[in-house]
Structure 1
Amino acid sequence: MVSTSRILRLATAAGVLLAVGACSPQATPTPMPTVGAPCSKESLPTRTAGKLTIATDEPAYQPWFVDDKPDNGEGFESAVAYAVAEKLGYAREDVVWTRVRFDSAVAPGPKEFDFDINQFSITEERKQAVDFSAPYYLVRQTVIALKSSKIAGKTALADLRAAKLGAQVGTTSYQAITDVIKPTVEPQVYNSNDDAKKALQNGQLDGLVVDLPTAFYITGAEIDDAVIVGQLPQVGTPEAFGLLLDKDSPLTGCVSGAVGKLSADGALKQLEQQWLARDAGAPELT
């Protein structure tokens, strides 16, 4: 989560301790671009010459992707991926999509992609094993509940501390429960957000913590009698999603630069407004 963060996961991110170290994805070392070389299609040492291989999980959920088809360019993260590719000089037909499980992508070891986009929260622990680009999205964790739940309509964190809360394992959504809400009841963890949603629907949870866009989607399109309770306060540095690359990837600087340009020219904000729900109706819990 973080949730909650992919619709149903956040990142990144976040209670998993990762071993330090990673290998290059190629059998033989790929030389770093020469100093001053442009971040262009011709100069980038991608897995396949002239192509950009982008990964995400399966299934890929709305609002990040639409119809579980990353290559259609619809959904926030699909659109961001193609925008980054374009900044690097790759046409739509030059982009190759592959599927990689969330936990495999964040683990140490060689990668079968140039970058992965999958609501990975940027954390210091994860940076021991992988590289991240500059942030493309700042995240807020959100509590949702059934309308019949005892926490529906609550406005204070203190009102949630006696509730049975849950989130996907290894996500910042789960970390938000333990570090921000600090419930007196042991929080429940689930292998996927699908499992967590079922627990919410079955009355096994009082509330589920996910990222805000996911919260809007679940309450608006998936569970008719679910409502947003509220957004949780940020703790320290705001949680952010970044594109994930192999540790010490020669592509990291150029990919990060492309994200930075999209942020500076307002493109990321436009895509966020187009594909992600605004935080209307999601009050802040204090």
Structure 2
Amino acid sequence: MPRSSGPLTLTALCAVLVSVAACAPQDDAPTDTATPAATAGPACSKDKLPTRTAGKLTVATDEPAYAPWFTDNKPESGEGFEAAVAYAVAGKLGYAPGDVTWARVKFDTAVAPGPKNFDFDINQFSITEERKRAVDFSSPYHLVRQAVIAPKSGKIAGKKSLADLRGAKLGAQVGTTSYQAITQVIKPKTKPQVYNSNDDAKKALQNGQIDGLVVDLPTAFYITGAELTDTTIVGQLPQVGAPEAFGLLLDRGSPLTACVSGAVDQLRGDGTIKKLEQKWLAQVAGATELT
């Protein structure tokens, strides 16, 4: 998803963004938003973990799985940031790539209460207190901001403030923090539109049914740079409260939560996550901060 000149590392990207608290290196990712972690040690070895299938690790994500998080809707390839993170976590727990099985679960189904058909799910799940009442989360593996994209010729292209967006018709995927960002940060006069997937939301944007679409910033860069090239990033939304963090999602009370968190902590501590961010999420331009 590069746009124009050579790629920047995550650190360099954050340097060109305004008010970039949420772009802190992953070594500094907050741990108070997730279930307390335990170091992935002997108790977290493959032969002792009570996974759904003995000796296998079942990982879930949505259908379709979007870039830059996955490549060509093939999580099993290990290509894309979240696919790579999933296999890195599996490796820390002692699972070879051939021991990993992928399941497809819709976003809103995964965050809902009830038994899960996976060991963990990776699908840009922001860790929130509300969701933690229904599911478990690992330690954060990525910090993120929300952004607004719009047609280059649209009514909100070039706008600089939240006030400029309050008269716009906006949309987002159901059950996401992108939707919450519309209602809690932008607070438009018109009720935002909700879509079952980002594909549906992008079609609505193309068809002129909405003026703008809210997604996380890396997805915004990819959509505007590779998918809908007649669109632009209007800007990123201000961070309200603690930085928004993505975590691996597990069943509520899962016996795997501490081990999965320990694996994520190790990957963050040894620099693996930072390297994966630089490979898959590096950008070439910042996004204006909407105030």
CA contact (8 A) 1:122 1:242 kept: yes
Moved over 4 A (4+): none
CA distance in 1, matches of 2:202, 2:68: 16
| Counterpart in the other structure of 2:123 | 118
| Counterpart in the other structure of 2:170 | 165
1:148 pairs with 2:153: yes
1:232 pairs with 2:264: no
1:174, CA displacement in angstroms? 0.9
Deviations 1:51-90 (A, max 9, x none): 1111111111111111111110100000000000111111
1:203 pairs with 2:215: no
Higher helix share: 2
CA contact (8 A) 1:228 1:281 kept: no
| Counterpart in the other structure of 2:223 | 218
CA distance in 2, matches of 1:101, 1:181: 26
CA distance in 2, matches of 1:74, 1:121: 21
1:162, CA displacement in angstroms? 1.4
CA distance in 2, matches of 1:222, 1:74: 18
1:179, CA displacement in angstroms? 0.8
Deviations 1:88-118 (A, max 9, x none): 1111111111112222211111111111111
User: Structure 1: which amino acid aligns with 2:122?
Assistant: I
Task: Classify the secondary structure of the residue corresponding to 2:249.
Answer: strand
| Counterpart in the other structure of 2:196 | 191
1:277, CA displacement in angstroms? 3.8
- Of the three residues 135, 138, 141, the one matched with 1:133 is 138
Deviations 1:198-246 (A, max 9, x none): 1111122111111111101110111121000110011111111110111
| TM norm structure 2 | 0.83
- Of the three residues 264, 271, 281, the one matched with 2:286 is 281
> Which segment drifts farther, 270-279 or 54-63?
270-279
1:281, CA displacement in angstroms? 3.4
Cα gap change, 1:279 to 1:253, in 2 (>3 Å): farther
Task: Classify the secondary structure of the residue corresponding to 1:38.
Answer: helix
1:252 pairs with 2:257: yes
- Of the three residues 59, 65, 75, the one matched with 2:64 is 59
CA distance in 2, matches of 1:233, 1:114: 34
CA distance in 2, matches of 1:193, 1:37: 40
- Of the three residues 28, 47, 50, the one matched with 2:52 is 47
| Counterpart in the other structure of 2:110 | 105
User: Structure 2: which amino acid aligns with 1:88?
Assistant: L
Cα gap change, 1:279 to 1:122, in 2 (>3 Å): farther
User: Structure 2: which amino acid aligns with 1:221?
Assistant: A
Structure 2: where are the runs of 5+ without partners?
Answer: 1-40
Q: Over aligned residues, Cα RMSD in angstroms?
A: 1.3
CA distance in 2, matches of 1:195, 1:58: 13
CA distance in 2, matches of 1:53, 1:67: 20
CA distance in 1, matches of 2:91, 2:78: 12
CA distance in 2, matches of 1:103, 1:182: 23
Structure 1: where are the runs of 5+ without partners?
Answer: 1-35
1:279, CA displacement in angstroms? 6.8
The number of residues matched between the two structures is 251
| TM norm structure 1 | 0.85
1:186, CA displacement in angstroms? 2.1
